[in-house]
Amino acid sequence: MLAIVGLFLLQFQILPSNSLILVSNAPRRVIKTLKASNGAPWGSWGPPQFCAEGTYAIGYSIKAESNQGSGDDTSLNSIKLECKGLDAVRSGGIITSREGPFGHWYSEVKCPSRNGAPTFLKEFILQVEPDQYSGDDTAANFVKFYCRDFAGLTYPSELSVSPGHGNYGSWGRWSGSCGANSAICGLKTQVEGDQGGGDDTALNNVEFYCCEENSEAGK
């Protein structure tokens, strides 16, 4: 396995088989990128953000705008991840990427424990409304996850903020899972900024990063 030799890389690099995927500015051993099958096209990507070394996403919250009636709807605006160590005690911070300006933050939900051990975010699915052309576009409406133990031995359990779905659009396909001995450790979001008098969509797409433990960290 190749080691990461620097923290600041200029672009995605796909290395030879059984090697790492090096992500721009990633201070972690990123081994897989999880992508939505149905992301919307508007806006620009924010910077990737990562949990502290040795910690992984154990819960999440969303910022979303409620139904505006005859007004302009945006639905999902941002996603936050809470990071914890494998003991579910050591904090790795709360991370987000680019954030839309509309709506409010919902209460965080966390992965359940299994047989006394914590579980972590491993897989996601995105609810997205397709292009409405002359209608009111909302793009991404909701996100939910599967939790599994770090080793990947337990059956996945679904995790979602209440009520578990947005107002518009349909679910894509599940992203595929972080592998054994890895879990979601970071994200970046594609968000359209405030359009003034135009049609706002806010969050359009998201990617999550799977990381493994890095025995060389701190050396």
Torsion angle of the four alpha carbons 45, 51, 53, 56, in this order, in degrees rounded to the nearest 10 = -120
Q: What angle do CA 27, 77, 41 make, to 5 degrees?
A: 85
Cα 201 to the chain's mean position, in Å?
18
Residues near 105 by Cβ (< 8 Å), separated by ≥ 6? 61, 62, 63, 80
What is the pLDDT, as a whole number, of residue 71? Answer: 83
What is the pLDDT, as a whole number, of residue 5? Answer: 30
User: Candidates 2.100.10.20, 2.60.40.3880, 3.10.560.10, 2.60.40.180; correct CATH number of 29-212?
Assistant: 2.100.10.20
Mean pLDDT confidence for 90-110: 97
Whether pTM > 0.95 for this model: the answer is no
Measured CA to CA in angstroms, residue 180 lies from 36, 38, 141, 213 at distances of: 21, 26, 30, 11
What is the pLDDT, as a whole number, of residue 27? Answer: 77
- Note the pLDDT tens digit of each residue in 168-205: 999 999 999 999 999 999 999 999 999 988 899 999 99
CA-CA-CA-CA torsion sign (182, 155, 172, 145):
negative
DSSP-derived secondary structure letter, 3:
P
pLDDT-derived band at 2, boundaries 50, 70, 90: very low
pLDDT-derived band at 216, boundaries 50, 70, 90: confident
Higher-confidence position of 197 and 91: 91
Residues near 104 by Cβ (< 8 Å), separated by ≥ 6? 63, 64, 65
CB atoms within 10 A of CB 152: 16
What is the pLDDT, as a whole number, of residue 25? Answer: 55
Residues near 142 by Cβ (< 8 Å), separated by ≥ 6? 62, 64, 75, 76, 126, 127, 160, 161, 164, 165, 166
pLDDT-derived band at 136, boundaries 50, 70, 90: very high
What is the pLDDT, as a whole number, of residue 4? Answer: 35
What is the pLDDT, as a whole number, of residue 76? Answer: 98
Mean pLDDT confidence for 38-63: 97
